[in-house]
Structure 1
């Protein structure tokens, strides 16, 4: 798994945080993020940036981008935040079937969208993102060893 795509809706909250965590843990991989309804060109949410800084990581340079067919074609693995996003990607890009999974697949949880919901909602989502990212990093590392 060399190319990993992480997807949410706006590409300014959840997927940039997940991208930053996975990229830091797997620096030899191509890790990108995009949104199904991206706020194209917008930076990551300030609360998301602050949470990442608490972990010693910066997503300040992030700019939201819209998911596109070529991104899905290149991706060996596409991680989404919830089942609805998984279904939408599989409907839009049927060739991606079998490569789309929820970030928190193992725990069976969806990552709620914290957009405009305040610090507490971001912290709740971030905890799920961090846990899901760690599980995928471990799995990818085992498969690649």
Structure 2
């Protein structure tokens, strides 16, 4: 049974906090805890403003967020680690090789789809990333809530 899920991207200001919020909401009312971190986090930065805007446009109230760096401790505590791109798997495993077997793409159930970084790409990229994250979060929630 998964109790702690960690979602990882690079900066921890766009994709992973968005996925944290969407997966957390999709898993309600379970007691599964969802958190996020970045491989090269913009430490203590809030959710990127366009990511926040897109969440609001889809009916969500963005959660308070401060970017945090991925740590060996966070990897160790997580039962499942979801990443946005294949090279993020390598980043997690370089930090903590013992995590092999619990690191998967968020887009695993969409033919191993990667979710590209929308940072500094304009609002359409954020809208696209949101759509992919939403689909992937719903697919994981259906499998995890069983």
Question: Structures share a fold, TM > 0.5?
Answer: yes
Counterpart mapping for 1:61-100 below 5 A: 61-100=64-103
The alpha-carbon deviation at position 100 of structure 1 amounts to 0.2
User: Which SS does the other structure have where 1:78 is aligned?
Assistant: strand
8 Å CA contact 1:16, 1:59 repeated in 2 = no
Give the alignment partner of residue 56 of structure 1, picking from 56, 59, 66: 59
TM-score scaled by length of structure 2: 0.93
TM-score scaled by length of structure 1: 0.94
Counterpart mapping for 1:95-134 below 5 A: 95-107=98-110, 108-134=112-138
The alpha-carbon deviation at position 98 of structure 1 amounts to 0.4
Taking the aligned partners of 1:14 and 1:131, their CA distance within structure 2 comes to 13
Taking the aligned partners of 1:18 and 1:72, their CA distance within structure 2 comes to 17
8 Å CA contact 1:20, 1:58 repeated in 2 = no
Structure 2 stretches lacking a partner, 5+ long: none
The alpha-carbon deviation at position 51 of structure 1 amounts to 1.3
The answer as to 2:45 corresponding to 1:23 is: no
Taking the aligned partners of 2:61 and 2:98, their CA distance within structure 1 comes to 33
Deviations 1:102-140 (A, max 9, x none): 000122211010001111011111111111111111110
RMSD of aligned Cα (Å): 1.0
Taking the aligned partners of 1:82 and 1:70, their CA distance within structure 2 comes to 22
8 Å CA contact 2:26, 2:137 repeated in 1 = no
The answer as to 2:43 corresponding to 1:40 is: yes
8 Å CA contact 2:4, 2:77 repeated in 1 = yes
8 Å CA contact 1:13, 1:44 repeated in 2 = yes
